[in-house]
Amino acid sequence: MEQLVKFIPLFPLIGFAIIGLANRRLSKGVTGVLATGSVLASFAIAVIIFMNRLGGDGQAVTVTLFDWITAGNFSAKFSFLVDNLSTMFLLVITGVGTLIHLYSIGYMHDDDGFRRFMSYLNLFIFFMLLLVLGDNYLVMFIGWEGVGLCSYLLIGFWFKNIDYSSAAKKAFVMNRIGDLGLLLGVLLIFTATGSVTYDSVFAQAANITIPVVTTATILLFIGAMGKSAQIPLYTWLPDAMAGPTPVSALIHAATMVTAGVYMVARSSVLYMMAPISMDFVAWTGVITALFAASIGFAQTDIKKVLAYSTVSQLGFMFAALGVGAFTAGVFHVVTHAFFKALLFLGAGSVIHAMHHEQDIRNMGGLAKKLPITHATFLLGFLAIIGFPFFSGFYSKDEIIIQALAHKPIIGYLLIFGALMTAFYMSRLYFLTFMGKFRGTEEQQHHLHESPLSMTVPLMVLAVLSVAGGYLLQGYMEHNLTLGAAVTASTEIEEHTLHGLHNVMWGVTAAAIVMAVIAYVLYVVKGQRPSSDADMKGLEKTIYNKYYVDELYESLITKPLNSISSFLSNWIDINVIDRLVNGTGGGINALSGQLRLTQSGNTGFYIVAMVLGMALLVAITVFM
C-alpha cells in the first residue's frame, strides 16, 4: 500500500505543469478545479496510507523511485520514507492545502493572475511533500529550497508593488542565510558518517564525537531558524503578509514555517546526543515565543497580529523540541495548522468584506454582518488561547507540562507566553468583531458574508480546531515515537504528571481571565489602539517591532550596500575595468606595430625565416 506514496507529490506537480503550460487556454473554473483536485487526490492517498498504517505494524517503509547520485563510495537514492511522522505531515499538508486551494478559488477569482497563483500553490505543495517524504537529507534539501523559491514567488505575487517585491526578496535572502547553515550541517554529517540517508546516519550516530554532533545539529538548527522564523531570522515572516491571504495561511499555518520543526524532529536521534544543541533550541524557542508575543500587543494590522502569533507559536514548538518533548512539539504543529489556517482565512474573509481594509482600528461590530466568519474565527480564537477541550488546549498544555517536568524555568516562561497569547488574541477578536463599527459608511454598506468557496473551508477548519486535539491526542502519544532515547527521556512519573495537570488547569483559568480583561478594556470600556501619530513611549516602540528592522538596516544592510557601492564604483570601474580595458588596448597597440612587419617584401620574409631558424637552433643547443 505504501507504494502509492509516489503519487502524492506527483499529482500537484502535474497540476502545476498543466496550469502553467496551458495558462489562459484554461478557464478560471477549470483551473480552480484542477489545482484543488490534484491536492485533494494526494490527500485521499495520504488518508489511505494512514488508515493502512493504523491497521499494520507501524514499521517504516522506504519506497525507492530511482538511483540518483553515485560518485565513488557515495551513493544516494531518490527515495521516500513512509513512517508515522511523515504520514502525519502528509495529512496536514495535503488536507489543509486542499482547503486553502478551495478558499483561493473564491478569494482570488477576480485577480488577473489567478491561473499563475493556483499553479504556484500546486508547486509549493509539491516541494513541501518532497521535504517531508525524502528518506535522506538531500531529497529533503530539494524540497527545502523549493518551498523557499515558491514562497518568494507567492509573497511577491503582486510584484508590481515595490514594497511587496521587497518583502519577497527579504524572505528569500533571510532564508538563504539559514539554508547555508543547513547545508553545512548536512556536509558535516556526511563527513562524519559517509552517508546522508536517515537510517544510515542514525545507525552510526553513536560513533560520532560529541563536538561534531553538537556542531552539526546547531548548523541544522540555523537552517530551521531561517525557515521557521526564529530569532534572529524572523523578520521576514511578518513582512510576508504582502502576499495574498491564502499564501499567509499556507506558509504560516501548515507548511513552510513548520519545515524547521519537522527537520529537527526527524533528526531527534542526533539532537538527543547533543545537550548543548538541545538547550540552544529550547532557549531560542522560548525567547522567540515571548518576544513575538509582546509585539502582538500593539499591532493594528489583522494579518500582522496573526503573523507574530505564528512566530510565537513556532517558539513554543521549538521549546518543546529543546526539552526533549518531540512528540508534543509535532502535536502542536498539527493543531496549530488547524486553528492558524482558520484564523488567517477568517482574516481574509474579513478583509474581503471590508474591501481590503486590514486595520482593526477601522473594524468592529462585524459579528452580525459576517455570521459564519465570526463563528468560525471565534472557534479558532478559543483554540489558540487554549480554551478547555479545544485543540490548542491539548497540544499547548502538553508542551508546558513536559517543559515543567524537565526544565522548569522554560515551563514557567512558556506559561507567561501562553497568558500573553490569550490577551493579544482576545484584543484582536474583540476589536474586530465586537462593539460598534468604526469603518466608513461605504464599507458598512458593502459588508457581506463571503461565498461558499471561502466559508466551507472555514467551517471544516473550525471543526478540526475544536475536535482535532482530542481526536489526535491518543494517536500522537502512542504512535509518534521518535526513537527509544526520546521516549525514555520524556517519561514523567505518574504523581508528577498528575500535579502538573492540576497546574495547567490553573494556567487555563488564568488565560480565560486575560481574555476577560481584554473584554473589559476593549468592549466594556471601549478602548481603541492609538493612531500612528499619537503613539508614544513603549506602545510606539512595540508597534514599531522594537525597531529590529531598523537595527538590521543600520548594522547590516547599509554597511553591505556601502561596501557593494565601493566595490562597484571603485574596484570594479577603476581597477578591474581599467585592467581589462588596458589589456585590450595594449594588445591592440602591439598588434598595430606587428602589422608593420607584414610589408609584402619577400626578402624581408626570407631574412626573418633564417633568423628564426637560427634562434631555434641556438635554443636547442644551448638550453
Half-sphere exposure of 408 (CA within 13 A, CB side): 3
Query: What percentage of the chain carries pLDDT values higher than 90?
Result: 54
Under 8 Å CB-to-CB from 393, ≥6 apart: which residues? 383, 386, 387, 469, 508
State whether residue 79 is helix, strand or coil: strand
pLDDT average, residue stretch 233-251 = 86
Cα separation of 350 and 416, whole Å? 30
138 and 67 in contact (C-beta within 8 Å)? no
Provide the pLDDT for residue 493. Answer: 54
In this prediction, residues 170-177 reach a mean pLDDT of: 90
- The answer to whether 308 touches 227, Cβ cutoff 8 Å, is no
Is residue 5 within 8 Å of residue 63, measured between CB atoms?
A: yes
Side chain identity, residue 331: F
600: left (phi over 0), alpha (psi -120 to 50) or beta: left
- What burial class does residue 165 get, using C-beta atoms within 10 Å of its C-beta: 0-12 exposed, 13-18 middle, 19+ buried? middle
Residue 122 has pLDDT above 90, yes or no: yes
> Mind listing the pLDDT tens digit for each residue in 69-79?
888 778 888 99
Residue 287 has pLDDT above 50, yes or no: yes
Please choose, from the candidates 529, 520, 512, the residue with its C-alpha nearest in 3D space to the C-alpha of residue 297.
529
Q: Is the pTM of this model over 0.85?
A: yes
Tens digit of pLDDT for each residue in 99-110? 999 999 988 888
Query: What residues form DSSP beta bridges with 61?
Result: 82
Angle at which helices 137-155 and 259-266 cross, to 10°? 170
> What's the CA gap between 474 and 596, in Å, rounded?
93
Q: How far is CA 441 from the centre of its chain?
A: 38
Q: Which H helix or E strand runs over 497? A: helix 494-519
pLDDT digits (tens, 9 = 90+) for 553-571: 898 888 988 888 888 888 8
Residue range 220-227: average pLDDT?
94
Handedness of CA 118, 335, 465, 347 (dihedral sign): negative
So what's the pLDDT on residue 484?
A: 39
Query: Could you identify the residue written with the cell 553545512?
Result: 184
Handedness of CA 406, 500, 334, 331 (dihedral sign): positive
Per residue in 188-206, is it b (16+ CB within 10 Å) or e — as a string?
Answer: bbbebbebbbbeebbeebe
Nearest to 367 by CA among 350, 389, 352: 350
DSSP β-bridge partners for residue 74: 71
Give 402-461 pLDDT, tens digit per residue.
899 889 999 999 999 999 999 999 999 999 999 888 888 888 888 888 888 899 999 999
Q: What are phi and psi of 112, to 5 degrees?
A: -65, -25
pLDDT, residue 341, reads: 92
How far is it, in rounded angstroms, from Cα 597 to Cα 409? 88
pLDDT exceeds cutoff 50 at 111: yes
CA dihedral 75, 78, 82, 83 (to 10 degrees): 40
Q: 305-362, pLDDT tens digit by residue? A: 999 999 999 999 999 999 998 989 999 999 999 999 999 999 999 998 888 889 999 9
Q: Which residue from 421, 397, 455, 476 is spatially nearest to 92, judged by alpha carbons?
A: 476
Q: What is the pLDDT of residue 618?
A: 86
Residue 354 neighbours by CB distance under 10 Å:
24
Lowest mean pLDDT across 48-57, 187-196, 499-508: 499-508
In tens, the pLDDT along 27-44 reads: 888 999 999 999 999 999
- Confidence band of 112 (pLDDT split at 50, 70, 90): confident
User: If you average pLDDT over every residue of the chain, what do you get?
Assistant: 88
Across 133-152, average pLDDT: 93
| Tens digits of residue pLDDT in 77-92 | 899 999 889 999 999 9
Grid cell at residue 431: 476589536
Q: What's the grid cell of residue 456?
A: 466551507
